[in-house]
């Protein structure tokens, strides 16, 4: 275990707002003991930029980063999510366990360089490419954890429960052969993962029934009831596409979010991923139940899923976090920017997603960080005592941050910038990004490149 340390921040965003000359006392486990006013001389690390809390990434399929740029050429006009999914299946059924680890270690280094300091990995490649089980049921889940440790990111591991290929189906299809587990096998997989994570304060375990179309109603109820730890995060894809909504209405007699709320005890530990297509009554009832809406605007735009009505969700009392999902783009700024810009285009006015006494950029960032931490079940997303010291230092010498003060710093990051504004990143008080680059960037990049060559040649 490391010794205690003290980090000095020339300027930092705390819950009470922007403060100058902040000193963070960090315990050996990487948690902030106190944040108070102080001088740089007595600190172990001095950060001269603007320090903000690291952003949780609440939804990622890390392996899909390898598909970036490979699903456009040759596809016909009018292609949609379902055509993209077929291409993903073809790709997913070729990747080895070793390649999964090497890919994800690189992806996590990219996330860190972008300012994501924790990640919920929605992981469903459980079996070998031909669908047969590995000798160890949790083989690829352990690879995800190893990749997280290599990259230095905190992970909420979400092994996915996948049972059937669609509403009313009796089994999974060929494309989903790596995903499928019986409920008994899945519960055993969770036990393996729990044992592997014992004593690791950087990681958290959750459950992830894939979707209503992939998990029959009785199995979904049994899964939620069978998990002994009733505080585990629960993440589910829901209402992502209109075709899914129509099929759910036909088979279950209700819209997806409506059916879930009526049949399962949804509460604050749940994350409704996408939840794009909700009617007003669903939105009101879902917000009242307390789950986080897991929004992934760049992926949802790439797949043509539709607009999430963020303004109405907030008005209903709901909260949201952001994820990189397919990892076509890995950018905190782009996810937040697209959320706000979608509302501006819809309503034909500016600064839609904000609250009194905070700028639009600051509101988006702080809300997504705090709600993302809630979805991950981790003590992060804000710089205060008791939270993990996940810190992002912005380079105030960047031309578009020069002379900025207060909330204009976050407005400039969210609406005019991106990862090029990130100078350094710390997770649990340990530096993982220096001068805009991951500390192991070269080695991780080389392994990722070798994986791509092997798959594409």
Catalytically active residues, by annotation: 274, 325
Q: Please list the residues that pair with 433 across neighbouring strands.
A: 425, 438
How many residues are given for the chain?
A: 457
Instruction: Decide if 278 contacts 257 (C-beta within 8 A).
Output: yes
Backbone angles phi, psi at 118, to 5 degrees: -145, 160
Instruction: Decide if 124 contacts 64 (C-beta within 8 A).
Output: no
Could you give the angle at which helices 242-252 and 256-263 cross, rounded to 10 degrees?
50
Could you give the angle at which helices 280-289 and 256-263 cross, rounded to 10 degrees?
40
Nearest to 411 by CA among 89, 18, 23: 18
Instruction: Decide if 150 contacts 100 (C-beta within 8 A).
Output: no
Q: Which residue has the tokens 């949790």?
A: 138
Instruction: Answer left, alpha or beta for residue 326, where phi above 0 means left and psi between -120 and 50 means alpha.
Output: alpha
What whole-number distance in Å separates Cα of residue 100 and Cα of residue 145?
11
């Amino acid at each position: 275990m490391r010794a205690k340390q003290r980090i000095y921040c020339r300027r930092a965003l705390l819950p009470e707002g922007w403060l100058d000359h902040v000193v963070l006392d960090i315990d050996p486990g990487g948690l902030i003991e106190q944040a108070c006013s102080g001088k740089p001389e007595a600190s172990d690390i001095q950060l001269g930029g603007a320090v903000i809390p690291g952003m949780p990434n609440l939804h990622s399929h890390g392996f899909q980063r390898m598909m970036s740029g490979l699903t456009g050429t040759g596809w016909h006009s009018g292609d949609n999510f379902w055509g993209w999914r077929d291409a993903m299946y073809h790709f997913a059924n070729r990747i080895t366990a070793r390649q999964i680890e090497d890919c994800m270690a690189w992806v996590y280094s990219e996330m860190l360089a972008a300012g994501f300091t924790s990640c919920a990995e929605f992981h469903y490649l459980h079996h070998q490419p031909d669908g047969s089980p590995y000798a160890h049921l949790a083989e690829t889940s352990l690879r995800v954890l190893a990749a997280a440790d290599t990259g230095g990111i905190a992970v909420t591991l979400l092994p996915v429960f996948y049972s059937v290929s669609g509403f009313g189906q009796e089994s999974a299809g060929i494309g989903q052969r790596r995903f499928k587990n019986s409920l008994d096998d899945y519960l055993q997989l969770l036990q393996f993962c729990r044992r592997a994570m014992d004593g690791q304060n950087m990681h958290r375990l959750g459950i992830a029934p894939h979707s209503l179309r992939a998990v029959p109603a009785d199995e979904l109820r049994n899964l939620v009831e069978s998990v002994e730890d009733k505080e585990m995060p629960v993440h589910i894809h829901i209402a992502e596409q209109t075709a899914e909504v129509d099929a759910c209405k036909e088979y279950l007699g209700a819209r997806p979010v409506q059916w879930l709320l009526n049949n399962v005890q949804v509460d604050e530990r749940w994350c409704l991923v996408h939840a794009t297509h909700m009617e007003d009554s669903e939105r009101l009832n879902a917000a009242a139940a307390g789950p986080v809406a897991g929004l992934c605007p760049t992926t949802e735009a790439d797949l043509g899923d539709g607009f999430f009505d963020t303004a109405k969700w907030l008005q209903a009392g709901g909260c949201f976090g952001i994820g990189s999902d397919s990892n076509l783009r890995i950018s905190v700024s782009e996810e937040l920017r697209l959320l706000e810009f979608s509302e501006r285009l819809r309503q034909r006015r500016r600064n839609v997603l904000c609250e009194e006494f905070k700028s639009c950029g600051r509101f988006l960032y702080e809300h997504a960080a705090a709600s993302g931490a809630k979805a991950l079940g981790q003590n992060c997303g804000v710089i205060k005592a008791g939270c993990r010291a996940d810190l992002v230092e912005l380079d105030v010498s960047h031309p578009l941050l020069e002379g900025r003060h207060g909330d204009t710093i976050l407005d400039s990051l969210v609406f005019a910038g991106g990862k090029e504004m990130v100078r350094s990143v710390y997770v649990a008080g340990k530096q993982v990004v220096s001068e805009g680059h991951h500390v192991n960037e070269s080695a991780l990049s080389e392994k990722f490149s070798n994986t791509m060559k092997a798959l594409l040649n």
